[in-house]
Amino acid sequence: MIPDRAAPMRPERDRQHSLDDYTTDDAAMRSCLDLARVAARTELPVLVLGETGTGKTLLARAIHNTSARAPYSFVSFNAAALSETLIDSQLFGHERGAFTGADKRIKGKFELAHQGTLFIDEIADMSPGAQAKILRAVDYGEFERLGSETLQVALVRLVSATHLPLHRYVHSEHFRQDLFYRISGITITLPPLRQRPNDLRALIAAEITAASREQRKPITALSRAAADRLFGHPWPGNLRELKRVIQTAVALTEGQTILPDALLLDLAIVDVRDVHQPARSTADGSAPIVRPAADEHSLRLADVERRHIEHVLQLTGGNKRRAARLLGLSRSTLDRKLAEGRLISPEEADLPSADDAASSPSV
């Protein structure tokens, strides 16, 4: 149901970050965004799948902000690690005296999201009892506050997310099959950062620009060795990890150039099962980092394109056809770039402006 104009409008400060704010050079991410735009034009429930840190919450909010429900509330709820009673209270609210400490009536997330969008993150962590109540609320728009027998009504658009393989949970009876089919009208799977090589440079540039502005630091460049480390890292924490690494690097940098010592990459948490390219695994099963070149001279950020092409060739084991496809280039263009040995002009070597950086959403 399209929201009516009797519902309360959400604050002006929340009217931001739509699907139009995304930019990508990655084919898989473009497919996700195309599907998200379809979802924004419909009232179908949306299920967003993806590893931790891939930006599921950000995409859910962007779908809401691009939809007919954009003037109304986007209410977010994380179902992980909550007892069934707490989930009931959080989702459906409670009456005064419903339990110890309930000294007043509280509206739940469903009620607060009336006419807008309710985003349930980590929905696979909900108990079977909570799943049954969610199913009734989604199907009929009806629920009861904890401690009350009076039916309440809320018309919401449901967007759900999980980092778990929900289809496997359905078959193993950890998740209700009827609820799965009810919440997965449109299913969008966000690719992990390691599978978005064409976007990595722009995302790094955006994070450096944003962190430098926030911390009031004049960061303008990456050293060659630092760039090698960033492009060689498998990013198990995805966009969230990238943001943390860059923010910390900017904080640790005294001059204008980020050096490799400022990059605190935690390789201990890398799960080699997540690294799908055989060339990325060493003999002992660990995920390697591209080693710094002997020449440690500083490069401005855009100059890392050549290093990035070399890195992609490493990942593909020297297969130029596959590397060209990953880079979004024709084979002849890749051959020309390799033959020229000159990938960008000096005037193109500046960091993106703050406006450019804002067009690449981060976690």
Which of 189, 215, 249 is where one domain is finished? 189
Q: Give which of 242, 325, 331, 305 is closest to 28, Cα–Cα.
A: 325
Residue 3 lies in a domain: no
Residue 4 lies in a domain: no
Contact 277, 234 (CB under 8 A): no
* Same-domain check for residues 44 and 158: yes
* Same-domain check for residues 99 and 152: yes
Residue 2 lies in a domain: no
Residue 261 lies in a domain: yes
Contact 221, 349 (CB under 8 A): no
* Same-domain check for residues 132 and 256: no
The whole-number pLDDT of residue 314 equals 67
* Same-domain check for residues 77 and 212: no
CATH of residue 232: 1.10.8.60
The whole-number pLDDT of residue 137 equals 87
Token reading at 208: 């450096």
Rounded (5°) CA angle 224-225-229: 120
Which of 164, 189, 214 is where one domain is finished? 189
Segments of the chain scoring below 50 in pLDDT: 1-15, 271-302, 342-363
Say which residue the tokens 């969610």 belong to.
134
* Same-domain check for residues 128 and 268: no
* Same-domain check for residues 252 and 179: no
CA 341 to chain centroid, in Å, comes to 34
* Same-domain check for residues 207 and 182: no
CATH of residue 160: 3.40.50.300
* Same-domain check for residues 124 and 23: yes
* Same-domain check for residues 208 and 67: no
Read off φ and ψ for residue 22, nearest 5 degrees: -85, 140
Q: Report the C-alpha dihedral over residues 216, 222, 227, 229, rounded to 10 degrees.
A: -60
The whole-number pLDDT of residue 144 equals 82
Residue 331 lies in a domain: yes
Q: Report the C-alpha dihedral over residues 298, 301, 306, 308, rounded to 10 degrees.
A: 110
Buried b (16+ CB within 10 A) or exposed e, 160-174: bbbbeebeebbeeee
Judge if pTM exceeds 0.75: no
Residue 43 lies in a domain: yes
Amino acid identity, position 19 = L
pLDDT digits (tens, 9 = 90+) for 37-56: 999 999 999 999 999 999 99
* Same-domain check for residues 161 and 230: no
Residue 62 lies in a domain: yes
Q: Name the domain count of the chain.
A: 2
Q: Give which of 90, 156, 157 is closest to 126, Cα–Cα.
A: 90
The whole-number pLDDT of residue 338 equals 76
d(CA 126, CA 128): 7
* Same-domain check for residues 169 and 290: no
d(CA 101, CA 320): 65
* Same-domain check for residues 76 and 178: yes
Which of 189, 218, 242 is where one domain is finished? 189
Residue 6 lies in a domain: no
The domain in which residue 349 lies consists of 197-358
